[in-house]
A = this chain, B = another copy of it.
Amino acid sequence: MTVFPQKNGHARPLQFPSNRRLALASNKPPMIAEIIAVGSEMLTPHRQDTNSLYLTQGLNDLGVSVAFKTIVGDNRQHLVDAIRIALRRADIVLLSGGLGPTEDDLTRECAAEALGLELHREPSVLVELQRRFIARRMAMPPNNQRQADVLDGAELLTNKNGSAPGQWLDLSFEGHRKIVILLPGPPKELMPLFDDECVPRLALSLPRRSLAKRLLRMALIPESQVDARTAPIYQQFSDVETTILAGSGEIQLHFLCSKPTMEEAQARVDAVAELVEQEMGDDIFSSHGESLEEVVLLMLGLRGLTLSAAESCTGGLFAERLTRIPNSSRNFAGGVVVYTNAMKTVFADVPAELIAEKGAVSEEVARALAEGIRRRTGSSLGLSITGIAGPPITTGPDAGKPAGLVYIGLADQDDTQVKRLEIAGDRDRVRLWASEHALEMLRRSFQ
């Protein structure tokens, strides 16, 4: 799970520029963890450690906090030092990567050196490696035998999706109990191995606690407003950890509570969520973490309505977001990407004269598009998005209108509403926010 750098054009994650950890749990978990991601590629501008997000989720669910993350290259001295530092400051040290067969794969040797342990070549792993090569009718290169090197005292963790097993050590180091876990780097190997082999072992090793979570989501409200209205509530719950994430028009309120029993923990997160829901009312689109797309499709489904869309500046993004959800075709018929003016006439019967007179980016064309796509498709609802994603248009009737100007139209059998927006930011942001506004306009139309 690696993110391409954004300049490459097609990876466009939501941007979450600001956030705060607003209240910290008063009952500090008893053990802290450090995650060390091993691999020189993660020290380039192109690649990032993302395994740690998955591991952090799993550790948090067990009541373990991650206190440090370190990223280190395929360098013997650097890695040995990083492991030693982690052993000094954390109770649980998870290493991901560096278990492959090449000379660059140093995690086994470096962990042994840092811990003062020996490696032995484990016959059962050698046999399994040989078996994999024979199955592919290949000879095993001598280097691959290194994948059978096991730290003295380590338990092997079965890797269903790769050749290098994980390793688990629960030992006393300089008078302190330390759990050290070696995990393969590829996410497809690491994730199931962590879930199947590490989580049960950690659960047995740690004091028993239950963790309850709730996630409330809101769209298109300023974070400062959410904070001002909800802080007086969540600050009363000192045993609930509250995190606010904000970006791309969405605000998320995460509540987390750890208690000896699940009932106690769930009662606390439900209590704070209920009070926040009372305060924020309709602004909350999701009480249990559903996405805005899911909520809109659910509401269409409950009302037996169908929807179609005519998109200009968003170029298909609105349709693409809805169709990410399986079975969206039950209530979303599809739509048209009427990126040029001619297409608006061809597919949604917008009169060419209207476009010539008012411009494609106008209230009138938004209205005609929404009504046109609804009529053409026979859907219950027609939605339109027309705007200037940027750069500004320099000729014709839209010349002089600002980049970021967007009209959204929503037509039903009785009426058509049009909303005018001026969205700040670059091309990508205007498109993303326009699609968000369209989804939120739909959702609010049901209330």
List A residues at the B interface (Cβ < 8 Å): 1-6, 8-21, 24, 39-48, 50, 53-54, 56-57, 60, 65-75, 78, 81-82, 85, 89, 104, 186-188, 243, 245, 247-248, 252, 254, 289, 291, 293-294, 308-309, 311-312, 314-326, 328-329, 332-340, 342-343, 346-347, 376-378, 390-391, 427-428, 431
Contacts and interface: CB of A to CB of B under 8 A. Distances in A.
Given A19-B47, A56-B45, A69 B71 contact: yes
A333 B340 contact: yes
Give 10 closest A-B pairs by Cβ, nearest first. Answer: A315-B323, A316-B316, A316-B319, A334-B339, A9-B291, A45-B57, A316-B320, A2-B16, A69-B71, A334-B337
A257 to B, nearest CB: 15
A252 B5 CA distance: 12
Contact of A316 (B1, B73, B318, B325): B318
How many identical subunits does the complex contain? 2
A13 B17 contact: no
A291 B391 contact: no
Given A1-B15, A50-B48, A65-B43, A334 B340 contact: yes
Contacts of A50: 3, 48
B66 A43 contact: yes
A110 B354 CA distance: 63
B69 A41 contact: no
B10 A291 contact: yes
A334 B343 contact: yes
Say what secondary structure dominates the interface of chain A: mixed
A404 to B, nearest CB: 14
A73 to B, nearest CB: 6
A46 B333 contact: no
A38 to B, nearest CB: 11
A105 to B, nearest CB: 11
Contacts of A70: 68-71
B78 A60 contact: no
Contacts of A342: 333, 377-378
17 contacts: A1-B15, A2-B13, A8-B291, A9-B325, A10-B321, A10-B324, A43-B56, A43-B67, A43-B68, A68-B72, A315-B320, A315-B328, A316-B318, A319-B339, A332-B339, A335-B336, A346-B377
A329 B320 contact: no
A326 B391 contact: yes
A428 B48 CA distance: 21
Given A10-B291, A21-B40, A21-B74, A47 B16 contact: yes
A20 B301 CA distance: 47
A7 to B, nearest CB: 9
Contacts of A11: 13-14
Contacts of A13: 1-4, 11-13
B46 A245 contact: yes
B328 A324 contact: no
A71 B55 CA distance: 15
Nearest to A20: B41
Nearest to A322: B315
A428 B324 contact: yes
Contact of A47 (B104, B188, B245): B245
A320 B47 CA distance: 25
Contacts of A71: 68-70
Contacts of A46: 53, 243, 245, 252, 254
Contacts of A57: 5, 45
A346 B43 contact: no
Contacts of A431: 324
A336 B331 CA distance: 17
A376 B346 contact: yes
A293 B43 CA distance: 28
A69 B66 CA distance: 15
A50 B72 CA distance: 16
